[in-house]
Amino acid sequence: MTENARILLVDDDQIIRGLLMRMLRDKYICDQAAHVPSARQCLVANHYDALITDILMQGESGVELIRFARQQDPTMAVMVVSGVSRQESAREILDADVYGYIVKPFNQNQLLITLDNALRRCKLENRQRLDQQALEREVAAKTADLEKSHRQVASLMSGITSILIGLSPDLRVVQWNAAAETVLGISGPDALGAEFWELELSWDRPRMRQGVEQCLRTGNLIDLDHLRFQRVNGKDGFLGMRISAVDCNGPGCAGVLIMGADITDRILLESQLTQAQKLESIGQLAAGIAHEINTPTQYVGDNVRFFQEAFDDFRQVIDAFQILLQHARQLDPVHPSVRQTEQCLVDADLEYLDEEVPKAIEQTLEGVQRISSIVRSMKEFSHPGSDEMTPVDINKALTSTYTVARNEWKYVAELQTDFDPNLPLVTCFPGELNQVFLNIIINAAHAIEAVLPKNGDQKGAIRIATCARGDHVEVRISDTGCGIPDDIRHRIFDPFFTTKEVGKGTGQGLAIAHRVITEKHDGSLHVETRPGSGTTFIINLPVGEIT
């Protein structure tokens, strides 16, 4: 359908223009212009479906107009009506991309058919162009989408704080992200392409290898929690790793994906929390037990005191009876009651009772004393409800601590104390400080145990000394144990570092001690040691508010 299309006719020959108008006006709406400038104005002012122009005109050439028209509206069908049929002109015109070329003279049919064709072709082309554009837009949008998700994946990948290691089926490293670089201390370029087991990683390699092999064999997800490794700073740490198999080239050809993180800080925090909870519950328990024990201790003690006094009274009575017996014997040595009394004395072994009963009472009283001092120590040691800083007599705190820990050292060491009687009170967290003393005393006992010959009756010594030093209090806890070897001395305060066999030590004792002394009390904890002859821990605590 090309009817009612709007056509602009341009020719400087009025006769030609009139001819064209007459030929076309039945079918089309036509405007006309006598030269290029007025044609330009028409093109700017109106939309035309087609332009029919002469080439050789006075002033500007039709070629110029065609270029302008193209710029103005690329969908317009352009036709040339010209008397010129020279080769060069035609090329020039065809370069300008025209849809039809009619050489004067022409008849109406020729014109109408050419115009109709031109309009049709143009319409087709326009639709094609639109389709093309739509297609291009769609492609561009899809490309943008793709780029966006690419960027997202990239930023996601670089944003992953977890370690991500990919291994090919032949266990070469194909993925090694930034977290793997920082946590494991091997750069991506060094790792990529390398054989996984050749990498110089100081982690629990046998466990890792077992995990990877198990994963490949079973295809199951393998979790390696608390995997020991050495952190970049040289200290001990823990990784939490998860190993999964990924299909690379179909079944039976699986690679390995290892993901995980350095969980040392989390474990440290958890263990501190557990420690605090433990202390709290021990405190509550101790206070409750103390009360439960104190009441019977009161009456056991009272009753024993009563026995003591009552026995003295009995003895006086018996002494009197002895004299009476003597007297009776002199009067009638064979009187049945005299005989009976003498027999009774022999049966009861009075001499023995006389000697042993006071001793038994004395020792029982001493035992009661000891029970109450242990209960008191237990309560003081656990110090329930002391989450604020309190002034504490360090000598007393040490006494209650070694009393509750007695069972740990009594078979391996003699305990000596050298307490400064003029020690000022120290403002501190008593519960936590006691825990520090306990850890060090127990370590001392273990160190001594390590050098004592088995089944021998020898003992080492633990010496606890305190001393006021200006606005500080110094506590020295020494042992005659095995000492600390040079190569690990700098590591003893590291969390999780332990020389004890699995299950015996958590590697937390001295680390906690160090943290409590330095961070919570602003003090210092040092060690002096000679391998083979013993260790001294030196704690310095600022006195705090009371001086």
Partner 1 sequence: MKRRILFVDDEKRVLDGLRRMLRNMRHEWDMAFAESGAQALAMMDQQGVDVVVSDMRMPQMDGATLLKQVKDLHPGAVRIVLSGYAEREMVMKAFTAAHQYLTKPTDADTLKNVIGRACALRDMLAGDALQQLVSRTDSLPSVPVAYTRIMELMEQPGASARQIGRVVAEDLAMTAKVLQMVNSAFFGLPKRFSDVVQAVVYIGSETIRSLVLTCGLFSHLSDNIDGEALFYHSQQVSGIAKRIAVVEKMDKAATDDVLMAGLLHDVGKLIIADQFPDDFVEIANQAKTTGRPMHEVEYALLGASHAEVGAYLMGLWGLSDTVVEAIAYHHQPANCAVAAFDPLRVVHVADAFAHELQNIEVGNADVDLMDHALMEQLELADRLDVWRQAACRKEEER
> Using the rule CB under 8 A, is 294 a contact of partner 1?
yes
Query: And the tokens for 81?
Result: 């009506």
DSSP code at position 519: I
- Binding of residue 364 to partner 1 (CB under 8 A): no
Q: Which stretch binds partner 1 (CB under 8 A): 86-94, 122-130, 140-148, 291-299?
A: 291-299
Using the rule CB under 8 A, which residue among 296, 333, 485, 531 binds partner 1?
A: 296
Nearer Cβ to partner 1, position 131 or 545? 545
Using the rule CB under 8 A, is 73 a contact of partner 1?
no
Q: In angstroms, what is the minimal distance from the CB of 365 to partner 1? A: 9
Cα separation, 443 vs 505, whole angstroms = 10
The whole-angstrom separation of Cα 50 and Cα 20 is 13
The enclosing H or E element of 175 equals strand 173-176
Task: Please give the sequence-ordered ranges of beta strands (E in DSSP) within 426-470, or none if there are none.
Answer: 426-428, 460-469
Give the three-state DSSP class for 223.
strand
Q: Retrieve residue 473's tokens.
A: 């209090």
How distant is the alpha carbon of residue 283 from its chain centre? 31
Which tokens hold the place of 105?
């003279």
Considering the rule CB under 8 A, would residue 358 count as an interface residue with partner 1?
no
Shortest separation between residue 381's beta carbon and partner 1, angstroms: 14
Q: With binding defined as CB under 8 A, does residue 370 bind partner 1?
A: no
| The one among 230, 271, 390, 499 contacting partner 1 by CB under 8 A | 390
CB 187 within 8 A of CB 202: no
Indicate whether 299 belongs to the interface with partner 1 (CB under 8 A). Answer: yes
DSSP state of 501: P
Q: Does 393 bind partner 1 (CB under 8 A)?
A: yes
Q: Which is nearer to partner 1, 299 or 411 (CB)?
A: 299
Query: Of 57-65, 222-230, 290-298, 470-478, which segment contacts partner 1 by CB under 8 A?
Result: 290-298
The CA distance from 489 to 483, in Å, is: 10
Q: Of 41, 218, 306, 416, which lies in the binding site for partner 1, with binding defined by CB under 8 A?
A: 306
Q: Taking Cα atoms as reference points, which of 521, 283, 278 lies closest to residue 380?
A: 283
Number of residues binding to partner 1, judged by CB under 8 A:
31
Note whether 136 binds partner 1 by CB under 8 A. no
> What letter represents residue 35's amino acid?
H
State which of positions 449-468 bind partner 1 (CB under 8 A): none
169 binds partner 1 (CB under 8 A): no
In the complex, least distance from residue 285 CB atom to partner 1, rounded to whole angstroms = 14
Please report whether residue 395 would count as binding partner 1 according to CB under 8 A: yes
Write down how long the chain is.
Answer: 547
Based on CB atoms, which residue is closest to partner 1, 307 or 497? 307
**Does the protein bind partner 1 through residue 302 (CB under 8 A)?**
yes
Asked if 545 is part of the footprint of partner 1 (rule: CB under 8 A), the reply reads yes
C-alpha 334/C-alpha 288 separation (Å) is: 63
- 169-180 in b/e burial notation, b at 16+ Cβ within 10 A? beebbbbbbbbb
Q: Judged by CB, which is closer to partner 1: 195, or 302?
A: 302
How many other C-beta atoms can be found within 10 angstroms of the C-beta atom of residue 62?
29
User: Of the candidates 38, 46, 274, 298, which one interacts with partner 1 according to CB under 8 A?
Assistant: 298
Residue 523 CB, shortest distance to partner 1, in Å, is: 19
Distance in Å, CB of 301 to partner 1, minimum: 5
Site string for partner 1, 310-349 (x = CB under 8 A): x---------------------------------------
Minimum CB–partner distance for residue 468 and partner 1 (Å): 13
How far is the C-alpha of 539 from the C-alpha of 477, rounded, in Å? 8
Look-up of token digits 């958890």: 270
Nearer to partner 1, 95 or 302 (CB): 302
The answer to whether 417 contacts partner 1 (rule: CB under 8 A) is: no
Of the residues 89, 230, 272, 372, which one makes contact with partner 1 according to CB under 8 A: 372
Contact region with partner 1 (CB under 8 A), list: 132-140, 262-270, 297-305, 410-418:
297-305
Element (H, E) at 257: strand 254-262
Task: Please tell me the distance from the alpha carbon of residue 400 to that of residue 61, in angstroms, as a whole number.
Answer: 115
Which tokens go with 94? 């065809």
Q: Euclidean distance between the first and final Cα of the chain, in Å?
A: 109
Q: Which residue from 292, 212, 208 is spatially nearest to 244, judged by alpha carbons?
A: 212
Shorter beta-carbon distance to partner 1: residue 314 or 411: 314
Give the closest residue to 86 by CA, choosing from 125, 48, 106, 56: 56
Report if residue 518 touches partner 1, rule: CB under 8 A. no
Chain residues 422-441 in contact with partner 1, contact rule CB under 8 A: 425
Establish if 301 lies at the interface with partner 1 (CB under 8 A). yes
Residue 192 CB partners (closer than 8 Å, separation 6+): 173, 174, 175, 176
Which among 467, 488, 470, 494 has a CA at the least distance from the CA of 478?
Answer: 467
Instruction: Assess 367 for contact with partner 1 (CB under 8 A).
Output: no
Tokens of 211: 């995990």
| 391 contributes a contact to partner 1 by CB under 8 A | yes
Residue numbers at the binding site for partner 1 (CB under 8 A): 287, 290-291, 294-303, 305-306, 309-310, 368-369, 372, 379, 385, 388, 390-391, 393, 395-396, 425, 545-546
